[in-house]
A and B are shown apart, each in its own frame.
Chain A
Amino acid sequence: MSRESCTISRRTVMRGVGASLALPLLDAMGPRTGVASALADADSARPPVRMACLFFPNGVWMPSWIPQKPGDQFDLPFSLKPLDPLKQHVNILSGLDKRNSHEGDGHYAKTANFLTGMHVHKTTGKGINVGSVSVDQLAAQRVGHLTPLPSLELGIEPVISGIDSNVGYTRLYGSYISWRAENVPMAREINPRLVYERLFGMQPGKTAASRRKVDDAKSLLDLVLADANDLRGRLGRDDQFKMDEYLDSVRAVEKRIDFATKPDPRAWKPTTKPTAEQMTPPAPDIPDNHPEHVRLMLDLMVLAFQTDSTRIGTFMFGNSVSGRNFRGIIDGVRGGHHEISHHKNEQHNIDQYQLINRWHVEQLAYMLDRMSKVREGESTLLDNSMILMGSGMSDGNAHDPANLPILLAGGAGGAFKTGRHLANPGGTPLCNVYVSMLGRMGTPVERFGDSTGPLKSLDA
């Protein structure tokens, strides 16, 4: 039977990436000994670089988000205050923009393309398309084979039901930032226990039964791969794409199993073992308490990076248009997030809006703090990471797509200089940041989305 074990199926490249990619990526379609491994091996003495992209919905109150002064001498404004102890590890990026989000209404055209930067096709179902593979998945398709999981997609809220007939988009767009191809979103996990099982569940070898289960899984997947290949030929063109998603998914799981059963290709080994507390499985059910839920997910992201289970992650604090009620979570806030974000320039709404913004920054600070305490030789996990956090719009009241609120923490393995407010000229593409990040992931591209080049000011 056919074992197409290339790291990226050709179709994914053809349909997902399009012309915006520089040539080197095509090398990833070669066998595993290709460029990507060579790159990683060259760096083998050093810890790998990790990237996470964190999204929060409904924008921010800009006056309390953007520092007044650029450079490294600035005061953190109200909403960013929680970052104070970590200030030297963070860059505040202002002036960034997603050109392709200036058309299209409301939230959806600004969320689904948060990590693609391309146009979101307006549809209630037919022809769902965000213009490109997302930045995290592009990296995963190139270097994901170096870790047990190519990437990790986490969220808090289930996918939103229905379509928004008001603006003419399926609400599905508001639920995904990670896209495997321009027309295939990556499913997110919202149950911490299931994330934990995903990270540490498929480790064979301990008992004969578990070894057998993994062996069986390989045969089972081979079998259904043959089924799907047979079936594919009998389907119409559009239906074949759906079968391709299935085929790609089966192959991805196969690769995961291969990884677990073959010698570990990694030269670098994590230096800080997780504590017993870290390795305690979360309760089976999703916590009712929102802050607890968020922290568990962030803990798991850190744990995944710390153990080198994956190097790439995304997290959504909430879906686009989330109406989460923060009463009882944040003192002084009563009411739904989205409702409050339409603050009507009324002070009592603005007060609550910036408190919600600040709460999200507090969660980031929590994550960064944890990462800064994980030693990796001479450096820390935070030093070796790129943690981007932001929203798809600036002022939520106006659904303003310009001057996006973006934070980028971590030194990217010494490549980025942090502790600065980088005030970019208005209209600088957010995708320039992604080009810089991809460079650091060992997946260099010339262009991504609407980029005009890397964001050079990040460099150390």
Chain B
Amino acid sequence: MRSTPAPQHAIRLRACVALLGTLALATLGAAATSPAHADDHFNKQVRPLLEQYCTKCHNAEKRKGKLDLTATFDSDVPKHIKVWQKMYLPIREREMPPDDQKQVPEEQRHQLLAWLASVKQGNSKDCSELATDDSKNFYRGFVMSRRLNRVEYDYTVRDLLGLDHDLGVGQRLFPKDGSGGLGFDNVGDALFTSPVLMEKYLQAADDVLTIALPDGGKPSGAAPSYAPRLTDAQLAAVRKRVFVAWPGYGRAPRAAARQVIRTFIDRAYRRPAADADVDRLLTMFDRAQHRGDSYEASVKLALKAALISPHFLFLVEPEPDKEGVYELGDHAIAARLSYFLWSSLPDDDLRALADAGKLRDKDVRARQVRRMLDDPKAIALAENFGLQWLALRDLGGERRPDAKAFPEFNDELSDLLKREAVLFVDHVIREDRPLIELLQADYTYLNDKLASHYGIDGVAGDQMRLVKVTDGRRGGILGFGAVHAVTSYPLRTSPVLRGKWVFEDVLGRHVDPPPPNAGNLPEGESTKGLSFRQKLEVHRKRPECASCHNKMDPLGFGLENFDALGRWRDTYEGHPVDATGVLSNGQKFEGVAGLKKMLAEKQRDEFLRTFVRKMVSYGFGRDLTEFDNCVVDEAMKAMYADEMRAQTVVERIALSYPFTHRYAKK
């Protein structure tokens, strides 16, 4: 043991030992950080402000907003980094202290903000180091070897067979996956395997082989009815790709099968097949041969085993025997890259680089990121990351406008609305546009139907294409009809839901849930004859409602001109639409164009940071902790230095230390 643990570490140590039972004393002791240090500036400058303006509510007893600032009076500033981060924006945006409380004088307010910002930055660690006490704790408990989700299953099968579209087997058979982390379905902690799914894996493997490799290469009536029909040319191509060897000309069936199996699982297992893997699958081939099945049928039985093997169904990241930080192998890195950008397995180029041991090289990896983003398969990033970031996936499913009130809504419109979002996000990433265009752009994606739905002239044909829009209404996520629809109730629009969407999903802020029994309009106060917005304003006058609704609702008012299907409206329920908003910091804007401009100019940093954080979480397949801020900060810095370009962010994530390193816990 290199250092003696300070008392608080000893206590934690004991708890850990009690909990885990097997931890070696030496490792934890060595990682103990320096003891708490008193911070002079904090005690002289910051603490008095907290005591004067904050701790009346944020104390150990009241814990308003679940925040107790007196806990920071131990003056161990770095320890409370989460608190400082939580405080910064509410103060900057003048949400805190609330209006009815004593306000911090301007000069001191600026000093406090500057100090909070400096702790935020000052704490960032060396980005190429994982083995701090913090990082160890944070790595503990994250699941990183995970099963494929059902979208990844379909895309993986597509690329395994070399098809240009997926068969939809997983999406048909498997239950929908849940989400974790910052809201994505590629988070290992939230992906479970249960007996039902195992039964489905068996059936899916059957279906895949029946659809794509019918006996004798001829389309078969046995193919399930839900599957798309493959053309003869497609069937022949799959057959050629899979059956790389046939018996005959002195080659025994078993030798041919060995070659087919090896080639297949080199791809399917996302690593070079081991002899043991091949031999094990050959037992299935032997079994079928033994009872007189054809060569083809016998090979397919072995392939079926491969398709239900955990080597295929799980993205496996083996760990070394020794505890500590280690670099992932080339093939694990290749898989991380391909599932991040394509939601599918590595292609031949990527595999070749992994085989050659080159993917740990940052320059090589950077070039691969650019190449992969240029590939049509990269639309998966917009589909999976994009739609989940914007919370649009459930449109048309659980989120569905009322059929009587909105007879125009149908599955086709729902798909078009989502397609607009996918193609737009894909464009920004693939064309390496400045990310701020996500908020403010002079284009969007439409076809004739969607254009006429939006009331835009001059778009003919059902092909979705880039269309210039200059009136400020469309262009950017705030103009997506899909967004307007998912942030509405079945029968009406909701400035509250929309405001909450902007506040949380776009700006990454947090509001507490409403108190129980919220929602009563003040009694005795007539709201008859008022517009919906006016009624809501009455509601907002109650102080217990105002503190949150003042943050959210004004943002939502900016979208009042859109109905529940995303169509433009100038009047609502007989009243002219009032789409002005005033934020608690006094900023005022007019309509969606004003809202976009304000967000793009005044909240640019929050917006971009939220986007980057979400993408890091998606790229890592897990939740983020403060330790990951370092990756986020670096990506932000690189992005600003490069005209806010989208691919720079993707590249920084793929080049970051945690993307290729893990901590082995024993």
Q: Give A contacts to B, CB under 8 Å.
A: 105-106, 124-128, 150, 153, 157-163, 165-167, 170-172, 175, 180, 184-190, 194, 198, 202, 212, 216-217, 219-220, 223-224, 226-228, 231, 234-239, 241-243, 245-246, 248-250, 252-253, 256, 284, 319, 322-325, 327-328, 334-336, 339, 342, 344-345, 397-400
Contacts and interface: CB of A to CB of B under 8 A. Distances in A.
Given A162-B183, A163-B179, A344-B520, A223 B305 contact: yes
A153 B199 CA distance: 14
A161 B490 contact: no
B404 A327 contact: yes
Interface stretch (B509-517, B596-604, B652-660): B509-517
8 contacts: A161-B183, A162-B179, A162-B391, A163-B180, A166-B500, A219-B284, A224-B310, A249-B198
B311 interface: yes
B543 interface: no
A175 B177 CA distance: 10
A152 B289 CA distance: 37
B516 A323 contact: no
B664 interface: yes
A227 B404 CA distance: 53
Interface stretch (B81-89, B246-254, B394-402): B394-402
A175 B194 contact: no
Across the A-B interface, give the 9 residue pairs with the lowest CB-CB distance, nearest first: A125-B180, A172-B178, A252-B195, A239-B145, A158-B176, A249-B198, A398-B516, A344-B519, A234-B318
Given A188-B175, A252-B195, A239 B317 contact: yes
Nearest to B400: A325
B175 A189 contact: yes
B448 to A, nearest CB: 27
Given A125-B181, A398-B517, 8 more contacts: A126-B180, A126-B623, A180-B194, A184-B194, A187-B192, A252-B195, A319-B398, A325-B490
Which of B141, B280, B308, B665 has the largest count of A CB atoms less than 10 A from its CB? Answer: B308
B316 A235 contact: yes
B520 to A, nearest CB: 6
B73 interface: no
Contact of B175 (A158, A219, A284): A158
A327 B402 contact: yes
A161 B284 contact: no
A344 B535 CA distance: 14
A185 B192 contact: yes
B143 A241 contact: yes
Nearest to A236: B319
A299 B284 CA distance: 40
A256 B199 CA distance: 10
Contacts of B193: 242, 245-246, 249
A124 B317 contact: no
A220 B304 contact: yes
B142 A126 contact: yes
A125 B623 contact: yes
Given A125-B190, A157-B398, A194 B141 contact: no
B460 interface: no
A91 to B, nearest CB: 29
Interface string B144-185: 111100000000000000000000000001011111111101
Given A161-B185, A284-B226, A245 B192 contact: yes
A189 B195 CA distance: 12
Interface in B330-375: none
B519 A189 contact: no
Nearest to A226: B280
B504 A170 contact: no
B532 interface: no
B489 A336 contact: yes
Given A125-B180, A227-B309, A246-B314, A234 B319 contact: yes
A112 B491 CA distance: 29
Contact of B308 (A150, A160, A224, A345): A224
Contacts of B255: none
Contacts of B141: 126-127, 238
A220 B285 CA distance: 11
A231 B516 contact: no
B181 A124 contact: yes
Which of B196, B317, B504 has the largest count of A CB atoms less than 10 A from its CB? Answer: B196
Contacts of A242: 143, 145-147, 188, 191, 193, 314
A386 B435 CA distance: 57
B399 A323 contact: yes
B403 interface: yes
Contacts of A220: 202, 284, 301, 304-305, 308
Given A127-B141, A161-B393, A166-B500, A328 B310 contact: no
B197 A187 contact: yes
Contacts of B521: 344
Contact of A159 (B178, B194, B225, B309): B178
Given A124-B180, A127-B141, A334 B310 contact: no
A159 B176 contact: yes
A222 to B, nearest CB: 9
B502 to A, nearest CB: 13
A236 B664 contact: yes
Given A126-B142, A236-B665, A198 B199 contact: yes
A243 B309 CA distance: 11
B549 interface: no
A364 to B, nearest CB: 23
B283 interface: yes
B489 A160 contact: no
Contacts of B584: none
A219 B282 CA distance: 12
B13 to A, nearest CB: 19
B180 A223 contact: no
A166 B513 contact: yes
B283 A223 contact: yes
Nearest to A212: B291
A180 B500 CA distance: 35
Contacts of B490: 323, 325, 327, 335-336, 339
B588 interface: no
B204 to A, nearest CB: 12
A185 B197 CA distance: 12
Contacts of A188: 175, 196
B310 A246 contact: yes
Contacts of B666: 237
B309 A323 contact: no
A187 to B, nearest CB: 4
Contacts of B309: 223-224, 227
